[in-house]
Amino acid sequence: MKRRRGPTLLLLSGVIFLAVLPLVPLLFASTQAQSEAHVDILTLNGMIAPFTAQYVIRGIDAAEADGAEAVILQMDTPGGLMNSMDDIIKRILNSRVPIVVYITPRGARAGSAGVFITMAAHVAAMAPITNIGAAHPVGGEGETIEGDLREKITNDAVAHIRALAEARGRNADWAEDAVRNSVSITAEQALSLHVIDLMADSIEDLLAKLDGQAINTNWGSQTLHTSGATQNYIEMSWSEKFLHVITDPNIAYVLLSLGTIALIAEFYNPGAILPGLTGVICLVLAFTAFGVLQPNWAGVGLILLAIILFLADLKVQGYALSVGGAVAFVLGSILLFRPLTPTLPSMPEISVSPWLIAVMTASWIGFFFFALAATVRVHRGKLSSGTIALVAAVGIAQTDLSPRGIVLVHSEEWSAEAVGGPIQKGEAVKVIEVVEGLQLRVTRAPSG
């Protein structure tokens, strides 16, 4: 009897088809996933601080979660805080996703802490017309540190940067030279000296050159598929952007200056509320920035001394103390970011623009002369309308009069000159004459 193969083959084909059918979506999914490969891009500009470290760590966490091919860290930094730099480096070293540091745009640099972060990256790249280097510890005026302290700081930094460079197979001798001798090189020099791995004109060029490279991480070797990959930019949060703005030394300086002026305006016009509130907010923001910028507190003290001198001049209604206040303000402004102790290799040199110091000093002097003129006008108005009422009025000495000082008459403070001998603070006085120049002549009031 002849077997009927037709139905059997048909049945077998149907079984195979049904078995393969569930695998078809997986094949399409695999193809789609490969075509939708993406890289996460972070941008680190300016000082390296706690909030920038938080941003970079958050970005790497997100890249690990969303399956990015790599993280591109676009960087242009003069340096920053050692602790923040260390936090970024530790996260890079323990990342599941390859980290590519790309010094860009043209004209950018990686100085101080930026050199260490570049050495830690799985791939180091630079755009044309950029530079890297200058990680030598210096003093507050940019001078070379001598002695045991210099050796201690330098040796620690050298050990750190050599370990990073050797782990990535880069030029550890140059990295040491950047710390010991503050050398700085161009992108072309960095490539020829094997300080970096490649140069790229743009992100697209960088992704094309990264494609197919095998990258070793702590979690194994990964081959990058970055050619034509989708670029996913991870931005700073609004709070991180805000902190980034106020930690500019010029902005922090303006906040300190405006905050003190606003508080003095509130002092002059109690109950106005708005100047006082504005002053408190500005000062809180200024001291928040100082936590990152590490100011010279002697400079802050000189600025506070300037405020005290200006206020004192408003009381005595003269000009000599204002001159001293202006000098103290200028000196404090110059010293504000000149550290008393040597800076670490991660920190850049920080200073306030001389033009900004000139503008703020002129603003301070203008403000206090305006306030002084307003005070004089008010007192002259009171004199013209109440001179007769002041004569024979009784008041209290607010300070010792020997012979000049301050007295309180009709609930107002006046400059006064004692007649007939010194008068102690707290004694009763009697006005005998109002003289030109807003000054009272007083004598000790008879007891009883």
Beta strand 220-223 pairing with 428-435 = unpaired
Angle between helices 82-93 and 113-120 (to 10 degrees): 10
CA distance 214 to 430: 93
- Is 152 annotated in the active site? yes
**Which of the residues 84, 112, 322, 415 is marked catalytic?**
112
Going across the sheet that includes 109-111, the strands are: 109-111, 131-133, 184-186
CA distance 296 to 288: 15
Write out the two tokens for 53.
């470290």
Confirm if 322 and 310 have CB atoms less than 8 A apart.
yes
The one-letter amino acid at 252: A
CA distance 226 to 383: 82
CA distance 314 to 371: 8
Write out the two tokens for 232.
């996913």
C-alpha angle 110-188-44 in degrees, rounded to nearest 5:
25
In angstroms, the Cα distances linking 378 to 316, 392, 412, 439 are 14, 21, 11, 13
CA distance 68 to 66: 6
CA distance 375 to 268: 10
Euclidean distance between the first and the last CA atom of the chain, given in angstroms as a whole number: 149
Q: Which among 274, 280, 245 has a CA at the least distance from the CA of 260?
A: 280
- Is 322 annotated in the active site? no
Write out the two tokens for 405.
């000082």
To which residue do tokens 């020829």 refer? 192
Q: How many CB atoms lie within 10 A of CB 114?
A: 28
Confirm if 324 and 311 have CB atoms less than 8 A apart.
no
**Which of the residues 13, 30, 90, 152 is marked catalytic?**
152
List the catalytic residues.
112, 152
